[in-house]
Every structure is written in structure tokens, then in C-alpha cells.
Amino acid sequence: MRIDILTILPQLLESPFSASIMQRAQDKGHLELHIHNIRDYSTNKHKNVDDYQYGGGAGMVMSIEPIAAIIEKLKSERQYDEIIYMTPDGEILEQAHCNALSLSENLMILCGHYKGVDERIREHYITKEISIGSYVLSGGELAAAVLVDGIARLIPGVLNDETSALTDSFQDNLLSPPVYTRPPEFNGWKVPEVLISGDFSKIEQWREEQALKRTRERRPDLLEE
């Protein structure tokens, strides 16, 4: 999969993509990330990428020209499955979005700033608008990093244990059961007996019960869907 990210702060995206799963996805050739600095496409002499909003009011708006220029250039080179705008007024990101987007060949992600982008960009180029939650970040970069992480780990071949993404919380609308590792006892705190019993059907049953219990207690909304 190829993902092109359009940003005015490329340095914000460097570290999240250079460690762990995201680095591994790139090293293994499953993910190709291209970060584009919108400022490089500004044609005015001060390299401005924003301007005052029509109608007045506080806050700058990201200008249409440099963003249109880069989107047009990229679109002339390949077809994009989605051109995504990260914005607090988008659809709230869910596992289902990550699952669907992980099957894409080419994605483009635009990170917003200031008061947002000129609405004509959204009308004419953007095919999907995503929010990572009901709060306002200072820019779309961290939201884009969250989205790309959620997608990258689902690309076939990225995770070592192919089944591990299938047992994630949310994949079956259930939260994950508790997990334990050695030692079997610490400070008198014991690992549940069943997990050391070696009886795999009992273990499976216990995990299902725990997942259901945890979901009922913490996210009952998931069980109503």
C-alpha cells in the first residue's frame, strides 16, 4: 500500500512512522509512506500556505492553490482509493474504517491546520473525512498518524502472528480479555488457575466470558450494535 500525506509540519510525522510496526511495515515493503510539505507547492514569494478568511473573523484558512497543486500532481500519477481529510467534524474513526482502508492500494491524507482548509478542497477533492474523537487537536498530523497506525498493522503480512489482529479488541465488537505472563504469582497476586490448567477448551471458554464481562462493564454500547 502507498500512503501520501500532505502536511505543513512534516517533522511532526517523522518519529511515529520510524519505529515499531510502522517501520516494520515499510521495511518489509508492505507500506510506502510519502510525506509532502504543502509549503513546497506555494507559489507566492513568502511561501504562505494560509490566508485571512472571507467574511472576516479570527483564524487563518489553508489556501486552495498549493493543496490543489499537490493533489492534482499526485492524482495524475496514480489512482487513489480515498483522499482523506483529517478534521474534528469528520466521521469518528472506528475499527471498521481501519479494516476497510487496509485493503486500499493508494491513499492520500490531508492534515488540516488553523481554521481548516478552503471548503472548495473538501467539495472537489476529498472523498472521506475522518475525526479521531470529539476534541480539537492543533493539527491533523497526530490524527493522521493514529489512522495510519490503525491501518498499517492490518495490512496482510505486517504483523508477525497473522491471527493477532483478528483477536484485537473491537474486531468482533468485544473488548479483549485480561492477559497474564510469568511469574504465576507476584506479591501473592495469582494468575487465574484456568490459564495454567492446560485445558484449552476451558481456557477458550474463560476468555470468551471475560471478554463479554469486560465489554458489558466498560462498553455496553458495543453489545447493542
Give the residue with the Cβ less far from ligand ADE, 140 or 150. Answer: 140
Q: Which of residues 107-166 bind ligand ADE (CB under 6 A)?
A: 112, 131-133, 135-137, 140, 143
* Environment class of 33 (CB within 10 Å of its CB; exposed 0-12, middle 13-18, buried 19+): middle
Residue nearest to ligand ADE (CB): 143
* Contact between 88 and ligand ADE per CB under 6 A: yes
Across-strand partners of 51? 61
Orientation of helix 20-27 relative to helix 141-152, angle to 10°: 60
CB 131 → ligand ADE: shortest distance, Å? 4
Count of other CB atoms within 10 angstroms of residue 3 = 23
Give the residue with the Cβ less far from ligand ADE, 100 or 194. Answer: 100
* Contact between 87 and ligand ADE per CB under 6 A: yes
Give the residue with the Cβ less far from ligand ADE, 139 or 207. Answer: 139
CB 87 → ligand ADE: shortest distance, Å? 5
Across-strand partners of 131? 92
Q: Which of residues 55-84 bind ligand ADE (CB under 6 A)?
A: none
What is the spatial distance between Cα 203 and Cα 201, in angstroms, rounded to a whole number?
A: 5
CB 96 → ligand ADE: shortest distance, Å? 17
What is the spatial distance between Cα 72 and Cα 67, in angstroms, rounded to a whole number?
A: 9
Residue 8 sits at φ, ψ, to 5 deg, of -100, -5
Catalog residues that contact ligand ADE under the rule CB under 6 A: 86-88, 112, 131-133, 135-137, 140, 143
